[in-house]
Amino acid sequence: MFIRTQSNGSRTYLLIVDNERVDGKVKQRVLLRLGRLDELLANGQLDSLLQSLGRFSEKLAVLGAHAEGDSITTRSVRIGPAPIFERLWQACSIDTVLTSLLEGRRFEFSVERAIFLTVLHRLFARGSDRAAEKWKNNYAIEGVADLELHHLYRAMAWLGEPLPKDQQDGATPFASLTNKDRIEEALFQRRRDRFSDLEMVFFDTTSIYFEGEGGKTIGQRGHSKDHRPDRKQMVVGMVLDRKGNPVCSELWPGNTADVKSLVPIMERLQSRFGIGSVSIVADRGMIGAETLAEVERRKWSYILGVRMRSSTEARAVVARAGRYAEVHPKSDDRDGPSPLKVKEVWVEDARRYVVCVNEDQATKDRHDREAVVASLRDALRKGDKSLVGNKGYRKYLRAGGKQFAVDEDKIEEEARYDGKWVLTTNMDLPASEVALKYKQLWMVEDVFRSMKSLLDTRPIYHKCDETIRGHVFCSFLALLLRKELDDRLARKRWKLEWADVICDLDNLVEMEIAIRGKSYVFRGQAPGVAAKVFQAVGVALPPVLRSC
């Protein structure tokens, strides 16, 4: 039943009609003719009718009263984050795994809820774990109302708690196995393809510095990738599978060298994760000659990035003549793959290299260098020797007599590397596939950027190794949830900015209002992309209005 208009010459009439099916066809049946629309509007009868009908619709009455300011708001909470990431939490089986591992442990609070709260807070807010306790008061999150700060700390400590000595098989030389390792292994087993034995894994490390002492053993001084040698730090290693899913993380003391980390983590993948054949994709800087020899001895397959400027052989490989094969042509499509050409080079018929070039990157490298050199020439004309401290300038400076000069040979040498990178591999894959597999390693770099900035792992104020490990592992779990959400959005072919997703979910609110002694819950409009996120995850938006 609905209202429609009917025109007759210059006059418009208002009708109440409904649809009925006659002989298989839908026809409209006029139930009541209300009169001429202009007369109904002029004498106010239409407004009176609608107001009278509104008395029989509680929803319209409440919304009307609220719009006119006749309601009292008793509370307001944000409802977007929890239902979305609760569904993803369950889809990834994190709740099931945690509950299983906690069986038999008698905590007086829900450790699973404390971990979920910490992970959700890590996704939506900046700040340490201390802030999560107060942050939750503004959000509708099931099962967290009674959690206090010491509960969150105890949950972090449980995540980083070392396993008994008889369960340390497969531990790396740098850290004991902990509860977080058992969680990673259980989550992987639930996700892996049971019929596939070959796994292509991507591995990289970064460092995270501490505001305080950094625990009893894990905080050490080492090579800081954050450029903070004044701070103690820890080393974080991350393994991703071929689809970009985080598989496991390793947390080591800050003085652990990258070249020592690869073999132990691959051993863990084989012994603890049950992976029979391992193919490694990593940066060459992570693997020294001794480690590479060990990798070869174990007959592991690998694709490694090579440091072109510091390797004589790599420089010779770049300079060697040869025809490039086009993998992806240059395109004006912004969403298309980057242009890519590859060239295969063998050295002494024993070592295989693949030289890759991206023409767009080559153009950018050339323009950047020309801008730096032009600025340097202008500065040198002013005789400013303080420019030596500028790393961008210093690269192209040459000391000559009483003043510095531009190193023309260095400029020519750097031009050879524009847009290029070199890989070495012992795999039988075509050169184009080797290049594309290595490009997937950049996913790991994106993960670390998310862990450090978007998920805001820092600052870390914890003083115990156990709570530090738990703190960082919550970022690992947050990354799992983000990847699951990204995959679901991709299946819908929706390209949504992560910042918009977080902001719009965070701004979805509901209010409890009181009207004439009765309480109602009123949901605000779903802002921006929030409705799409709910649809992608398969969660229904709460009704606009409900009584309570």
Residue 418 reports pLDDT greater than 50? yes
Interval 306-318 mean pLDDT: 84
Do residues 536 and 485 make contact, with C-beta atoms less than 8 angstroms apart? yes
* Contacts of 223 by beta carbon, 8 Å cutoff, 6+ apart: 207, 257
251 contacts 175 by C-beta, under 8 angstroms: yes
Does residue 394 sit in the same domain as residue 316? Answer: no
Look at residue 516 and tell me if it is in a domain: yes
Residue 266, SS3 per DSSP? helix
- Tell me whether strands 25-36 and 11-22 are parallel, antiparallel or unpaired: antiparallel
Report residue 161: phi and psi, to 5°.
Answer: -70, 125
Calculate ∠ Cα 449-451-456, nearest 5°. Answer: 110
- pLDDT (tens digit per residue) in 187-221: 998 887 644 444 678 888 887 777 767 677 887 88
| Within a domain: 11 | yes
DSSP H helices, 389-497, are: 391-394, 408-415, 431-439, 442-449, 465-491
The arithmetic mean of pLDDT across residues 89-103, rounded, is 95
For 217, residues 6+ apart whose C-beta sits below 8 A from its C-beta are 253, 465
- What is the Cα–Cα distance from 200 to 279, expressed in whole angstroms? 5
C-alpha span between 346 and 351 (Å, rounded): 6
Both tokens assigned to 126: 């900046």
Range list of H helices, 346-394: 359-380, 391-394
- The answer to whether the CB of 247 falls within 8 A of the CB of 239 is yes
Q: How many domains are contained in the chain?
A: 4
Average pLDDT in the 477-493 region? 93
Whether residue 390 sits in one domain with residue 284: no
Q: Is residue 185 part of a domain?
A: no
Per-residue buried b or exposed e for 332-360, using 16+ beta carbons within 10 Å of the residue's own CB: eeeeeeebbbbbebeeeeeebbbbbbbee
Q: How confident is the model at residue 174 (pLDDT cuts 50, 70, 90)?
A: confident
> How large is the average pLDDT for residues 482-490?
93
Tokens representing 106 are: 């008698």
105 and 31 assigned to the same domain: no
pLDDT digits (tens, 9 = 90+) for 495-536: 999 999 999 999 999 988 776 667 778 888 899 999 999 999
- Which of 415, 431, 450 marks a domain boundary? 415
Predicted confidence (pLDDT) per residue in 315-342, tens digit: 899 889 889 999 999 888 777 788 999 9
Q: Are residues 452 and 365 in the same domain?
A: no
Q: Are residues 212 and 353 in the same domain?
A: yes
Same domain, 121 and 132: yes
Q: Is residue 180 part of a domain?
A: no
Ranges 45-49, 261-265, 411-415, most confident? 411-415
Nearest to 200 by CA among 241, 238, 237: 241
CATH number for position 223? 3.90.350.10
Q: Is 530 a domain residue?
A: yes
Dump the DSSP string for 504-526. HHHT-EEEEEEETTEEEEEEPP-
| Residue-range definition of the domain harbouring residue 43 | 1-56
Q: What's the DSSP call for residue 385?
A: G
CB atoms within 10 A of CB 395: 15
Please check whether residues 335 and 235 belong to one and the same domain: yes
In a domain, 181, yes or no: no
Q: Are residues 482 and 502 in the same domain?
A: yes
Looking at per-residue confidence, does 161 or 229 come out higher?
Answer: 161
Residue 251 maps to a domain: yes
For 353-393, the pLDDT digits (tens) are 999 999 999 999 999 999 988 888 888 877 766 666 666 77
Those residues with Cβ within 8 angstroms of residue 456's Cβ, 6 or more apart along the chain or in another chain: 122, 125, 126, 127
Three-state SS string over 200-231 comes to EEEEEEEEEECCCCCCCCCCECCCCCCCCCCC
The stretch 51-74 carries a mean pLDDT of: 61
- Note whether 242 and 319 are same-domain residues: yes
The DSSP code for 110 is -
Q: Do 377 and 307 have their domain in common?
A: no
Is 188 part of any domain? no
The yes-or-no verdict on residue 349 having pLDDT over 90 is no
Identify whether residues 18 and 158 lie together within a single domain. no
Lowest mean pLDDT among 72-81, 196-205, 435-444, 470-479: 196-205
211 and 351, same domain (yes or no): yes
What is the chain's mean pLDDT, rounded? 84
